[in-house]
Structure formats: structure tokens, C-alpha cells
Amino acid sequence: MIRAYHQPKGIDEALSLLKNGAQAVAGATGLYSNRKKLDGELVDITGLGLDGIEVTKGEIRLGACVTLTKLLEADLPGNEGAFLKLVARHITAHTMRNAITLGGNIAHTVFWADMPVALLALDAKLVIARAGEAEKTVAIADALQGAAPWKGGLIVKIIVPIVQGRTFGYERLSKTKNDYAFVTAAASMKLTDGKAKDVRVVLGAIQPKPFRASDIEAALEGKAVDADALAGAAKSALDLPIAPNFRASADYRRDVTSALVRRAVAQAAGQE
């Protein structure tokens, strides 16, 4: 039951309501899905000016209330901008993308969420605000570990570094285009003299939280991404831990994971 619905005029008012136990509402798509469990006060954060997009020479700074549609319509630079749009386009249907916000997609922390996978591949940072404290910037990798640092406060901004020459791949499989993913795989790297550097391979939807496949990354690091390297990545992906899931058997999802890792890495290496 919703006991009160607050529309604060400023961020300080919102933060003090959140500190006292109220829950933030942005696009409301996740909250609506969990509506039967709702019991408390809601704080609408969509009127706080958290929907700006700023581009500096080295960063894309996205307000937490930027919707997926706004992201898709924005003029974003570099391969990072194109990658964010590629991922946003994969998330459910147009009408839902009008509502879903970046902050909500991260904070909702469901295993199928696409943006946390992409943000790990991008090495993004989150800016977290809480009542009475200075804003904190936390690497997404740390934010996704353990207790969510935004609890009792807010994600206010997502910072994506722009790295010259970084390339990306993204693959996911779902039953229909609008459905949640069985498996998502993202890859990023810098190709220098034909060799892969700073490789990231991130998997989503096979464990409760997205994670980096460090063995696959290490095997690719400093090597040419040729047919053998791709076959090796696909083979190692068969050893990744797959959590039980009502959507498909572990064996099926293991095979899918292997194929998607190969394709995401090949895409990042400019081969697909």
C-alpha cells in the first residue's frame, strides 16, 4: 500500500524523505511490477532536474532520471555513445523505454537488467547523494558488490568515460524482442597493432548480478583476436557459473552463453 506520495521541490527535501525510509520512484516500471509488496511512502524524483545529459571532452554525464528514449534521442559522442544506444534499443518496447530511467535500471537490480552489464563494460561511475553527506562517486563494479550504496539515498548521475579507440560488442538472447534476456554478453577492448588491450567481457542474466569473466579477459589480453582466440573464449565460457533459472535449463543457457561471448568479443574486435 502506498501510504504517501511526495513530490519534493528540491533534491535536499527528497534526500531527507529517503533517509526517513521513503522509496524513490522514477519510471515506476519496476515498482509497478512489485506493487503487491509496496508498503510505505514514495518520493517522486522525476521533477528534481536529474534528467540532464552533459558531454565533456572525456566523459558522458547522464542524469539518473534520463529515460532510455531520451538516451536514444541524444547526440552522444564516440563508440561509448553508440554502445549505450545499442544497449538501450535492446531493452523492451518503445512505450516502456519512454518510462524506464537509467537510475531505475541500475537500482532495481534484477538479474536480467541490461544497463548494469553495459556500464560494467564501459567502466562507468555512479554519483550517489544522501542527506547530510557530500556526494560520493563510486565505480559501478564496486556499487554492484554487496549492499547497494544508493540505499537510503539516490543515484544522481552516471559518468561514462570516453576512451579513444575503445570498441564494444553486445549480444543478448530473449524469447521475444521485448522479453527479458536469458543471457547477455558485453565486450570492450582497445585494438593496438592488432592486439586486444584492456579487455572486458561482462555477463548478465546468468547470475543475480552481472560479473566480469576474468579468465576469458586474461586469455584475450595482449593477443590477436583470431579464430583460435574466439574459439578459446567460447570454450572457457562453458565453465562459467550458471545460476538456476525458470526460463531454460542450465545446459541450454551455458551453450547460449558460449555463443554470445564469442559473438560479443568478435563484434568488439570489428569482425561481426
Ligand X SMILES: Cc1cc2nc3c(=O)[nH]c(=O)nc-3n(C[C@H](O)[C@H](O)[C@H](O)COP(=O)(O)OP(=O)(O)OC[C@H]3O[C@@H](n4cnc5c(N)ncnc54)[C@H](O)[C@@H]3O)c2cc1C
Residue 249 binding ligand X, by CB under 6 A: no
Between CA 146 and CA 46 the distance in angstroms is 27
Residue 245 binding ligand X, by CB under 6 A: no
Within residues 110-139, the interface with ligand X by CB under 6 A covers 110, 112-115
Residue 186 binding ligand X, by CB under 6 A: no
Quick one: cell of 32?
Answer: 509497478
Cβ atoms within 10 Å of 55's Cβ, excluding its own: 17
Residue 170 binding ligand X, by CB under 6 A: no
Among 17, 22, 30, 203, binds ligand X (CB under 6 A): 30
Between CA 13 and CA 7 the distance in angstroms is 9
Give the CA distances from residue 257 to residues 123, 148, 182, in Å, rounded to whole numbers and listed in that order.
22, 27, 9
Between CA 78 and CA 74 the distance in angstroms is 13
Among 74, 96, 139, 163, binds ligand X (CB under 6 A): 96
Nearer to ligand X, 133 or 221 (CB): 133
Between CA 84 and CA 71 the distance in angstroms is 8
Among 11, 13, 19, 23, binds ligand X (CB under 6 A): 23
Nearer to ligand X, 103 or 169 (CB): 103
Among 14, 80, 104, 256, binds ligand X (CB under 6 A): 104
Q: Strands 125-129, 154-161: parallel, antiparallel or unpaired by DSSP?
A: antiparallel
Interface residues with ligand X (CB under 6 A) are 23-31, 33, 45, 64, 91-92, 96, 99-101, 103-105, 107-108, 110, 112-115, 150, 154-155, 180-181
